[in-house]
Amino acid sequence: MNWWTKALRSLIASDTREKLDLFRTFPGFRRFLATRHHYAILRTAGDVLFLVVLISGFFGPDLAERNVAVFLTWGLLWPAIVLSWFLVGRMWCGICPFPGLGVFLQRKGWTLSWKVPHFLQKYGVYTSVFLLAMIIWIEVAADLDRSPFGTSCLVLTIVLGSAVLAFLYEGQAWCRHLCPLGRISGAAATLAITEFRANHDRCRNCKTFACKRGGEGKRGCPVYLGAYSVKNNLHCLVCGHCLTTCDQDSPQFLLRNPYSELITNKGRYITCSYIVPFLIGSQLARFLRYKEVYGSFVSVIGSDAAAFSLLLVVSFLFVLAGIKLGNSLLVHAPDPIVGRLSPMVPILIPMAFVGELVYRMWFFADGIGDFVPTIGRQAHIDWLQKLGFSIPDFPVQILSAFFMLNGAVAACYILWRFCMEDFEGQVTLSNFIGLNALITVFLLSYLVVIF
């Protein structure tokens, strides 16, 4: 069988055994990830980009139209990260510059190397989701995506947060337990077309567990996993450390049906259960903020920040109500084995993260034409200002509608799989029709605020 035929089967097959191992198919790809200086080059490039953002934001012009820090962060880097979720899961986290200062401190021995406390392991998810909500709220309410200084403050805050935890605890405790960007990346990675997993047949012969502990001067897993214990895409950074420590050639990078993990977990992941309703609600609120009617709403409330906050709460409650209604149509009682489920969460995950991609695409399309002129204004190179252009709204709207329609189709597919497998015989025809109608309501809500 040709590799591309197997790749296609991996993407569409519901059988979890039908997965193409990209490491075996493309050995050069595995060698690239296993070679640590390749990661060092990528991380250095990220460090340079963040350094540009920090310097430009703190010491450059105050206006977004004259400072590249804003568009570099919100228009290029963040959309690129969002897009990467669908392809390579959390691989961005493997080269993320945020933990760079903390890693430097640990390599110099400037760390207490305490064990991560139980309360951080247990409650870190709530804290990171709260921090994510705060970032999204501040981005809009304080016009952070128009403030070079505010953008640099946000970047520096995350870097310092990571450094403090690296000084206190071993490994990358910030990345595993508190990072808000890592938390949303982990939730989105459950939708990725790839997964990093161990070949457990090979792991049975392992005596050292070096993929987790490290060995011979090589670092172990920075987030305390090890390839053998990775069961989902939530926490693995795909950083490549275990490729150099494993002597059993166990790690695999598999191409898969992007909905397989969502169908398997059926809403057990607490991370997704908190992030998804807030994310959808915030997207509806953020899109509505660009509508003419929002101006009238602000005049009534008296404050843009207060108006957006109220709109955010209402949108969040709307999504929560939809999820509760969907769950009641699917599951009438707690599962006797795994406890309470929220199957509407994995059903809505494709729409949630496609919606985030669409929102960031709008920001990119709105600002890319003025990026080079902004460089010209900041660097006082007048001729660069003549290279500006604009992208009309209509093609972006059409592309957005296409993406959201695909997200809705994916939601209907996951629902169908649930009804045919895990919840077979539990969902009546009228409930099934009601669930599809509920997905349609979410789709129409997106289309209304986009158009």
**What is the C-alpha separation between 280 and 128, in angstroms, rounded?**
17
Q: How confident is the model at residue 336 (pLDDT cuts 50, 70, 90)?
A: very low
**What is the C-alpha separation between 69 and 23, in angstroms, rounded?**
37
What was the pLDDT predicted at 15? 65
**What is the C-alpha separation between 311 and 231, in angstroms, rounded?**
37
Residue 339 has pLDDT above 50, yes or no: no
b/e 16-39 (16+ beta carbons within 10 angstroms → b): eebbbbbbeeeeeebeebbeeeeb
**What is the C-alpha separation between 185 and 167, in angstroms, rounded?**
24
Residue 18 has pLDDT above 80, yes or no: no
Residue 334 has pLDDT above 70, yes or no: no
Q: What is the mean pLDDT of residues 295-311?
A: 93
pLDDT in tens, 32-65: 888 888 888 888 888 888 899 999 999 999 999 9
Mean pLDDT across the chain: 91
Residue 172 has pLDDT above 90, yes or no: yes
Residue 338 has pLDDT above 60, yes or no: no
If phi > 0 it is left, if psi is from -120 to 50 it is alpha, else beta; for residue 238 that is: left
Residue 307 has pLDDT above 70, yes or no: yes
Q: How confident is the model at residue 1 (pLDDT cuts 50, 70, 90)?
A: low
Q: Which of these ranges, 9-18, 180-189, 383-392, has the smallest mean pLDDT?
A: 9-18
b/e 303-340 (16+ beta carbons within 10 angstroms → b): ebeebbbebbeebbebbeebbeebbebbbeeeeeeeee
Bridge pairing between strands 20-21 and 194-198: unpaired
Residue 273 has pLDDT above 80, yes or no: yes
Q: What is the mean pLDDT of residues 228-244?
A: 91
Domain boundaries of the chain, sorted by first residue = 3-261, 269-450
Most confident of the following: 93-102, 346-355, 414-423: 346-355
Q: How confident is the model at residue 75 (pLDDT cuts 50, 70, 90)?
A: very high
Q: What is the mean pLDDT of residues 104-131?
A: 93
Of 152, 151, 250, 267, the closest CA to residue 206 belongs to 250
| Type and span of the H or E element at 251 | strand 251-255
Residue 81 has pLDDT above 90, yes or no: yes
